[in-house]
Amino acid sequence: MKRLATVVGLSALLGFAFAAEKVQITFWHAFGGGRTAFIQRAVEDFNYTHPGIEVKVEYKGSYRDTLNAAILAAKQGNAPHIVQIFEVGSQLALDSGIFVPIENYVPADLKFQLDDYIKPVANYYRIGGKFNSIPWNSSNPILYYNKDIFKKAGLDPENPPKTFNEVAQACEKIIASKAAPKCITWPLHSWFVEQWIAEQGALLANNENGRAARATNVYIDSEAMKRIMKWWKGLYDKGYYTYTGKPEDWDGANQLFVSQQAAMEITSTSDVTFMQNASFENGFELGTGFLPVPDGVERNGTVVGGASLWLTKGHPQEEQEAALTFLLWFTNTENMVRWHKGTGYFPVLNTSVKVLEWQNWFERNPAYRAAFDQLLQSKANRATQGALIGPFPEIRTIIENMVQEIFQGKDIAKALSEADAQADQALKRYNASVKK
Amino acid sequence: MDTHAAYKSRWLPWVLLLPSFVILILFLYYPTIETFVLSLYQVAFLGLSKSFVGIENYKILFTDPEYLQIFKNTVVFAFFVVVFSMAVGLALSVLANQKVSGWRIYRLLLIWPYALSPAVVIFLFMFNPQSGIVNYLLTITLGIAPDWLTNPTLAMGLLVFVAVWKNVGYNVVFYIAGLQNLPGEVLEAALIDGATPWQRFWRVTFPLLSPMTFFLLIINTIYAFFEAFPFVDLLTKGGPSNATNILIFNIYRDGFEYYKTGMAAAQSVILFIAVVFLTILQFRVGEGRVHYGG
């Protein structure tokens, strides 16, 4: 008995000693479902090829849950090394002060990877000229449409609407011909509004979208916003636009489109793979096109949405280095190609795009093409760079409430000015709370 | 007689109570006090930085039209949920208390919803304006297809419906238990005196059930105020434009989505005071009217 205990004790000690040789890294992300397994496999590959490092990956719920969990863990001095944070949380993450500006720590021989990011992505995540985090999953909105319904309505199935008016005209035909009960859907989400503002070259906040200095004024009461709301309200009143009634209901909008209740859907490019499978299962032909923009306005392009990976403060140097090694490996050319094929998220490196082109990937998979071309054709300016606003999550709700009020019949000008005042108030309170 | 006779030492009772105190202080009193304190601060990032602002948070709450709207919604929601879930619960238990064939199955089915998880996503599919079964049936029978979640009144109605549906089972369990324990001779006497079923119910059964009704009133009030979060979060997210935003949902939102911990704490305090006040009121008013028999 005694001997057994000694053996157990010794082997436990050995186990510790062995484990201590490996640097343990924790990585928290917000991807459930099939993507969890996808990430897990990549991490296993890394652990296998890097015997000195062991990365432990954990799914922490939604973007917000993940950020909350990271802040709380940091407060208790127990932060994970790597955290995935959604794009509109960037300012918040900066203000929280629990992360390190990553670019300062990238070793010189790997700096080339930071210069490899495609321009729109670099534009979004370079804050004050520096990467504070490593861009990972990136997407923007495109138009998905049902080619069979288009044919039934007498529309050209190879020529989806490109402007607001063209959408309205196509809808008129689709509804009049009874090709589908509703014409178009997208989640009632502020993200689309933000994209349409950027497409018009307009800003969402002062100080150059909060990029030149901290934003102190949110621009909701603007001409650009008025254009969007007028069009959206018109589609809603005529029964062309439909949504489930619940704000931010991504799945609900997909359900409406996939079940062929609506002929078109505007949603994220990260759903390309899902849409292809779903259209096949439901027996219709899928088309994709650029995000429709207001008429008579030059197309500026879209803002990169998605998330990036942040490194937390306060770890021993060897752990920080190991975490960085993993981060740069995880987002390298090969892994970005894999990630794109598996999900539809953009291959965010120029070299991974080259690999995909060399493989004729976009020719063989045309649905991915629109998504990618739209991103590459975006102009690099303050509008398409996207706004940095601390209380962005709250401002999104304010915009979504405003849209619903407009649907209920509130005067657009009045709704806009009220929402503008509310957003400014929220921003003022936030800014006051971060000034220490 | 010495009151300490049962214990050998004066300290023993305190030692025995210690585990309970530790748990109460750690998980009940400390968070409550901390909430009161936090409500006086402007807190950023879940407490990473904070500054004292006095009653500023409360001032905002009582002057901001959005918050006033949320208070109003909460009162409307709680009122209808309590009234309907108790009335329906009582009516169903009276029916289920009849000795008809298959009564076991009826009772089981009535209690069922209570045992389900509050994640009632199914309603989202059922009440989908385009592809939901409810509008499908309404279209072929009545030719209407209401937008359940885009109309403020309908959205609130749906939310009340789901909250009632979920809690009726609980009330049924207690009311059936109450009905089974009624003294048979009183009802028999009423029957012999020629009271109609209606009279028997309102003059005999209902008053005899009053302790149960009183208990359920308090439990249902607490339910309506504190446990409706998942329904709002899953069905409406407080929309359309705050029409279904109630306090408990807004506390979560301010606290964990917008990082306004101080504001969330202030709302928690208000909710706490409101429910304590209601409970005391119910005891004051109820005590005199409840018939405990005996």
Is the CB of residue B157 less than 8 Å from the CB of residue B84? no
Which residue of B47, B239, B258 is in closest CB contact with A246? B239
pLDDT at A423: 96
pLDDT over 80 at A13, yes or no: no
Give the least confident one: A395-404, B53-62, B131-140. B131-140
Q: What is the pLDDT of residues B108-127, one digit of tens each?
A: 888 887 877 776 678 887 88
Residues A254 and A118 both lie in one domain: no
CB–CB of A408 and B46 under 8 A?
Answer: no
Alpha helices in chain B (DSSP H): 12-24, 30-38, 56-63, 65-96, 103-115, 122-126, 133-141, 152-180, 184-192, 197-199, 206-208, 210-226, 229-231, 247-252, 261-289
pLDDT over 90 at B182, yes or no: no
Smallest CA–CA distance, residue B243 to chain A, in Å, is: 10
User: Would you say residue A377 lies in a domain?
Assistant: no
Residues A309 and A294 both lie in one domain: no
| CA dist., res. B111 & res. B82, Å (int) | 17
Structural domains of chain A, count: 2
Smallest CA–CA distance, residue A29 to chain B, in Å, is: 17
CB–CB of B242 and A96 under 8 A?
Answer: no
∠ CA(B241), CA(B246), CA(B251), 5° rounding? 105
Choice between A91 and B9, residue whose per-residue pLDDT is larger: A91
Residues A82 and A36 both lie in one domain: yes
**What is the average pLDDT across A139-165?**
95
pLDDT at B42: 86
Residues A113 and A21 both lie in one domain: yes
**What is the average pLDDT across B198-211?**
89
User: Would you say residue A91 lies in a domain?
Assistant: yes
CB–CB of B237 and A95 under 8 A?
Answer: no
Q: With an 8 Å Cβ cutoff, is B45 touching chain A?
A: yes
Domain span at residue A42?
A: 13-138+304-367
pLDDT at A433: 83
Which residue of A68, A244, A391 is in closest CB contact with B46? A68
Give the least confident one: A318-332, B71-85, B192-206. B192-206
Residues A190 and A79 both lie in one domain: no
| CA dist., res. A296 & res. B206, Å (int) | 71
CB–CB of A401 and B253 under 8 A?
Answer: no
pLDDT over 60 at B82, yes or no: yes
CB–CB of B66 and A95 under 8 A?
Answer: no
| CA dist., res. A339 & res. A379, Å (int) | 25
Residues A220 and A242 both lie in one domain: yes
**Per the omega criterion (within 30 degrees of 0), is the bond before B152 cis?**
no
**What is the average pLDDT across A208-231?**
95
Residues A176 and A265 both lie in one domain: yes
Which residue of B42, B51, B257 is in closest CB contact with A64? B257
**What is the average pLDDT across A91-109?**
90
User: Would you say residue A196 lies in a domain?
Assistant: yes
What is the CATH number assigned to the segment(s) B63-289?
Answer: 1.10.3720.10
| CA dist., res. A209 & res. A219, Å (int) | 9
User: Would you say residue A386 lies in a domain?
Assistant: no
Chain A residues whose CB is inside 8 A of the B150 CB are 243, 245, 404, 407-408
CB–CB of B236 and A408 under 8 A?
Answer: no
Which residue of A243, A259, A436 is in closest CB contact with B49? A436
3-state secondary structure A227-274: HHHHHHHHHHHCCCEECCCCCCCHHHHHHHHHCCCEEEEEEEHHHHHH
Q: With an 8 Å Cβ cutoff, is B69 touching chain A?
A: no
Q: How confident is the model at residue A17 (pLDDT cuts 50, 70, 90)?
A: very low
Q: What is the pLDDT of residues B139-167, one digit of tens each?
A: 888 888 888 888 899 999 999 999 999 99
CB–CB of A394 and B236 under 8 A?
Answer: no
Query: Residue B119, Cβ neighbours under 10 Å: how many?
Result: 10
CATH of the domain at A399: 3.40.190.10
Residue contacts between A and B (CB atoms, under 8 Å) = 101
Residues A108 and A19 both lie in one domain: yes
Residues A178 and A89 both lie in one domain: no
Residues A189 and A294 both lie in one domain: yes
Residues A88 and A25 both lie in one domain: yes
CB–CB of B130 and A182 under 8 A?
Answer: yes
Q: What is the pLDDT of residues B49-66, one digit of tens each?
A: 788 888 889 999 999 888
Residues A182 and A331 both lie in one domain: no
ipTM reported for the complex, 2 dp = 0.82
Minimum Cα–Cα distance from B52: chain A residue: A433
